Structure 1
Amino acid sequence: MNILVIPPFNTAQKTVLEAGAPAATFTYAAKPDITDEQVAEADVIVGNLPPKRLAHARHLRLLQLNSAGYDAYMAPGTIPDGAALASAVGAYGQAVSEHMYAMLLMLMKNLAGYRDDQRAHAWTDRGSVRTMAGSQVLVLGTGDIGQHFAKLTSAHGAHVTGVRRHVGTVPEGFERICTMDELFGLLPHADAVVCFLPSAPETRGLANSRFFSSCKHGAYFANGGRGDLVVQADLIAALESGHLAGAALDVTTPEPLPQDDPLWNAPNILITPHVSGQFHLYTVLDNLASIAAENIRRLSGGTPLLNEVTLP
């Protein structure tokens, strides 16, 4: 079995990965250096190879993505016949949740303003701050990332409600789970609304003027899922009116956000360039190596894959 590996695994992570197929041949290559011949010879590719390059794949049995999202690979014919596609759900929970939690606390404690004051050499008291303790936090999306975020906030003393399509069991960190049908009845009671929803027809543009006007006055909004959830002009209006106390975004539409986009200058907003879920935290690559190793093992054994995506 020939396995082509794109993510920048360290020695320990490579050891974990290779344990999934001790007899296989592993080729490690940065994305710009990968040749068409390597793609053609690969039985397994670990990493997000550009979709158009999959046209060269001749023996591919599995494309193991290094991302939780897989939209770019869903066009008919992108994945070669007979090959499976698997996402990296489960690799990013700690990284994304900690990033979004830090952004939210930064807003609640006026830290962005104090950073501005430091740069201006201004000794300024910005007044009262907020706390997560006792807050009502509404988390949209209760998968791996949402569950990590719920554990962080509940440990701080917040009361966390999760929202997803079906109620089911209540994961650790949540006090209750509600359905999307109940969303607009929940928004007026939340001190913070935090979103980790995937891009889907039912989520695109969900955070619009109706959504923001339904939020509690003085609430915070955070989005670490997909940028197309938010109607950005409506978010700007909610911030400018003072209805929202602040917003934290790690995702926007488009990406990169143009330099002249008005979102940059909205009041009380923090924007990071979709970096929470990359490889900056070492645990992401640790988790990815484990997921890929397990799926290579399952592929060899003919058992169902983790995170297998249903292809069109």
Structure 2
Amino acid sequence: MKILITVPFQKEHQEELKKAAPDALFFFKDAYTIDDKRDEKLYHAFLKEADIIIGNPSIEEIASAPKLKFVQSSNAGVEKYTQQPGFPRNVMLCSMSGAFGGIISEYVLGGILTMYRKFPSYIEHQQKRLWQDAGSEQALMGKTALILGTGDIGTNIAKRLSAFDVYTIGIRRTAKFASEWFDEVYMLDALDEQICRADIVIGCLPKTVKTTHLLNQGRLRKMKKGGLVVNVGRGSLIVQPDLIQLLEEGYLSGAVLDVTDPEPLPSDNLLWGMKNVLITPHVSGISFGHTPQVEERVAKICAHNLKAFLNHTEMMNVVDWESGYRKGEKYAGSINL
């Protein structure tokens, strides 16, 4: 069994993966520069023989691996595989759902508080050595947040917002659901009715046909006036010109955008110049080289699924090709690793 690792795991996590598959031969791509022609040859030779890939291989790399049986993505979203041709349907695909809920929910909370408490204005004042009030602010307590997506990320967001006395409404794709952290949960067809109640709308959905441009001008204008939009899922969720118009009008008070469409966001995009918009370069769930706790969880999920695949036991986060979501309720966020 040959296993190719294309993400930069720390040494201790590499050892954890090796323990999960003690008889396998591993190739850790990040251990090589790949700039050197000799290293590149070694990599491509191993790729041709690889049975398992852990990371985010390109469609071209997958096509160069005829013996491939299983891909463990290091991303929660896997639309690059499910919505494009080229990924063999006989190859097992698992997502990294359950690894990023905690860290992304911290980002969401930080983003909301940054906008509500006008931290950017105070940073600007500090740089000018100016002791000055920035004007009226918002408080989180008593607000209503509509969270699009009630999986690992959405649930973690609801959990943290609940501690601030925020009323949480979840919108999800399927009916079966139970969570102590949402005050109410509805299916997607109730979005138009429920968005009217929202002070804050938070997007944490993957990119699918049904979620693309889900938030257009008509829906965003149904939010309470002065509402805040947060997006940590995929940039395709929002019709960007509509968002810009509502921000310019002042109907929406602001936006926190970790994802955009396209990415990177072009330098001439109007969003860059808006003082009521916080933009970050898709870093809310960043792990390798940035947040050791998340990298450790990613490693544990990979090790669990690697062992399960080799032993023919139940795996986590198996992707359903029809919906683009995981199959069933077994995912990394639902168990202790």
Find out whether 1:307 has 2:317 as its counterpart: yes
Any conservation in 1 of the 2:79–2:206 contact (CA below 8 Å)? no
SS of 2:111's partner is: helix
The structure 1 residue matched to 2:121, chosen from 105, 113, 117, is 113
Aligned to 1:23: 23
Give me the whole-angstrom Cα distance separating, in 1, the residues matched to 2:90 and 2:250: 54
Aligned to 2:306: 296
Map Cα deviations across residues 66-119 of structure 1 (whole Å, 9 max, x no partner): 001112223676234642111111111112111122111100100011122223
Q: Report the AA paired with residue 205 of structure 1.
A: H
Unaligned runs of 5+ in 1: none
Give me the whole-angstrom Cα distance separating, in 2, the residues matched to 1:297 and 1:76: 28
Map Cα deviations across residues 3-24 of structure 1 (whole Å, 9 max, x no partner): 1112221133223322321222
Give me the whole-angstrom Cα distance separating, in 2, the residues matched to 1:141 and 1:75: 19
Runs of 4+ residues over 6 Å off in structure 1? none
Give me the whole-angstrom Cα distance separating, in 2, the residues matched to 1:130 and 1:304: 47
Q: CA deviation at 1:47?
A: 0.3
Aligned to 1:157: 165
Relative distance call for 1:76 and 1:168 in structure 2 (3 A) is: closer
Q: CA deviation at 1:267?
A: 4.1
TM-score, normalised on structure 2? 0.87
Find out whether 1:226 has 2:234 as its counterpart: yes
Aligned residues: 312
Unaligned runs of 5+ in 2: 35-39, 323-337
Find out whether 1:209 has 2:217 as its counterpart: yes
Map Cα deviations across residues 109-146 of structure 1 (whole Å, 9 max, x no partner): 00011122223333321122222222111111011100
Relative distance call for 1:7 and 1:233 in structure 2 (3 A) is: same
- Alpha-carbon RMSD: 1.9
Aligned to 2:335: none
Give me the whole-angstrom Cα distance separating, in 2, the residues matched to 1:170 and 1:92: 20
Aligned to 1:41: 49
Give me the whole-angstrom Cα distance separating, in 2, the residues matched to 1:75 and 1:137: 30
The structure 1 residue matched to 2:73, chosen from 65, 68, 77, is 65
User: Identity rate of aligned residues, in percent?
Assistant: 37
TM-score, normalised on structure 1? 0.94
Find out whether 1:78 has 2:86 as its counterpart: yes
Give me the whole-angstrom Cα distance separating, in 1, the residues matched to 2:25 and 2:51: 10
